[in-house]
Amino acid sequence: MKNKGLRLSYLILLFCFILLSHSMAQNAPAQRIAKPFSLPLQLEMRVPFGPTAFPNGPNLFLIYELYLTNFSASPIRLQGMQLLDGNRKSNSPILSFDSLALKSMVKILWNNNLIDGINIEAGQSAVLYIEAKTSKEIPFPNNIVHRIITSADSLDGAAVSTHTTKIKTLKAPVTGSDWIAADGPSNGIDNHHRRGNIILGGRAINSRRFAIDWKKVKDSLSFSGDPANVQSYFCYGEKIFAVGDGTVVTVTDGLPDNIPGHGKAFHPAIPLTLEKLPGNYIVIDLGEGQYAHYMHMKSGSLKVKKGDHVTKGQLLGNIGNSGDAREPHLHFEVTTSDQLLSGEGIPYVIDSYRLGYQDGFDEVQNKELPKEKEIVEFGKANKR
């Protein structure tokens, strides 16, 4: 009996212990399950060359590129981008671009099918061509940070200055009226200057970012008569001038004009090489690491030689159709190098000009840079 009593007492104690343990387990706070370790969004963001704000009308503009590379093993789906003030702790953006806006800004290397969204596949790179605009009354901050928004995350990075280079005030390279800034500064998908990134010396570069093809137009046409005759083009033979004081560092002359033609109708007068793309060509060192490039000039018209010092407004030569030119025009750009295509395209401003409208030309624009397709007047043309 004594053993039975002990066994019964033991069973009662065991039962009580089980009940107490169960009660404590129910009342105890649930342990947090540790989340597996993960790295932040594996998206490299970089701006190869920082922007500089330039004026046009009542606004200021930034035009530059943001490069993205997906270093993860999964696709990254872009849904937006914001520009933040790099000098403030506030997260409020100064500008925002949604997925629809990004579609016209992004170029995914080797895959431009954006029908199903903007996906950067594993190991893939993309370029965002950015044109940011703000009022002159509310200028850009000195520094900006980019925020990339994806379907699952966001990432802040690629801080840049908005005043990377000095803005020089230059004289127009041509004179007279009815000049159109063909493929001038803009963010257009079809602008071959804007999307002119190439690889030279192992790095991505765009010397043509702010290039302008200066042509003359009347009733929206650049010629009258036979389109295969250079003499039919309103700008052919027009005088070209030094935009500022400087030293001539490059002169190429003697290359013939092409017969005008676009697309399959383009047949260069001589086989094109990298060196012959600009045709008859002048480069002027403007100082402070900035160089003015004049391309597609008329053979035999060049008035300067390498080493000459030129002054603002000095005659340099005439517009032709040499090199990689489909029709007569002056390709003009300012870059950070005296070497063809090797410098970064940078903005500048023209001392004064008038904007064209249907009823003539508007008030003078001082120290601004014309944008794509604007029609301008640069004062009275000099006699040839």
CA dist list (Å): 112 to 117, 126, 188, 196? 10, 10, 16, 16
pLDDT tens sequence across 143-198: 999 999 998 899 999 999 999 999 999 999 999 999 999 999 999 999 999 999 99
Q: Give residue limits of the domains in the chain.
A: 43-161, 169-377
pLDDT of 36 strictly over 80 = no
More confidently predicted of 295 and 17: 295
33 falls in which pLDDT band (50, 70, 90)? low
| Contact yes or no for 100/53 (Cβ under 8 A) | no
Output the CA torsion sign for 276, 282, 285, 286. Answer: negative
Question: In the chain, what percentage of residues exceed pLDDT 70?
Answer: 87
pLDDT tens sequence across 223-250: 999 999 999 999 999 999 999 999 999 9
CATH homologous superfamily for the domain 169-377:
Glucose Permease (Domain IIA) (2.70.70.10)
Three-state secondary structure call for residue 186: coil
- What is the predicted pLDDT for the residue at 361? 75
- How is residue 41 annotated by DSSP? P
75 falls in which pLDDT band (50, 70, 90)? very high
Output b/e per residue, 89-124; b: 16+ Cβ within 10 A.
eeeebbeebebeebeebbbbeeeeebeeebbbeeeb
More confidently predicted of 10 and 149: 149
- How is residue 272 annotated by DSSP? -
DSSP bridge pairs for 251 = 282
pLDDT of 381 strictly over 70 = no
Rounded distance between C-alpha atoms, residue 264 and residue 4, angstroms: 109
pLDDT of 27 strictly over 60 = no
Question: In the chain, what percentage of residues exceed pLDDT 90?
Answer: 80
- What is the predicted pLDDT for the residue at 380? 57
Mean pLDDT of 304-329: 98
- What is the predicted pLDDT for the residue at 151? 87
- What is the predicted pLDDT for the residue at 303? 98
Mean pLDDT of 5-21: 53
212 falls in which pLDDT band (50, 70, 90)? very high
- Phi, psi (5° rounding) for residue 257? -70, 150
- What is the predicted pLDDT for the residue at 359? 66
- What is the predicted pLDDT for the residue at 112? 63
Structure-derived torsion over alpha carbons of residues 356, 358, 360, 365, reported in degrees to the nearest 10: -30
Least confident of 25-34, 165-174, 292-301: 25-34
pLDDT of 350 strictly over 90 = yes
CA dist list (Å): 185 to 34, 196, 367? 52, 12, 15
| Contact yes or no for 257/329 (Cβ under 8 A) | no
| Contact yes or no for 364/166 (Cβ under 8 A) | no
pTM for this structure?
0.87
- What is the predicted pLDDT for the residue at 40? 85
Rounded distance between C-alpha atoms, residue 302 and residue 310, angstroms: 13
7 falls in which pLDDT band (50, 70, 90)? low
43-161 fold: Immunoglobulin-like (2.60.40)
pLDDT of 1 strictly over 60 = no
Mean pLDDT of 278-304: 98
Q: Which residues contact 341 (CB under 8 A, 6 or more apart)?
A: 198, 200, 205, 207, 208, 274, 277
Rounded distance between C-alpha atoms, residue 163 and residue 151, angstroms: 32
pLDDT tens sequence across 84-133: 999 887 778 999 999 999 999 999 987 666 656 789 999 999 999 999 99
Mean pLDDT of 300-312: 98
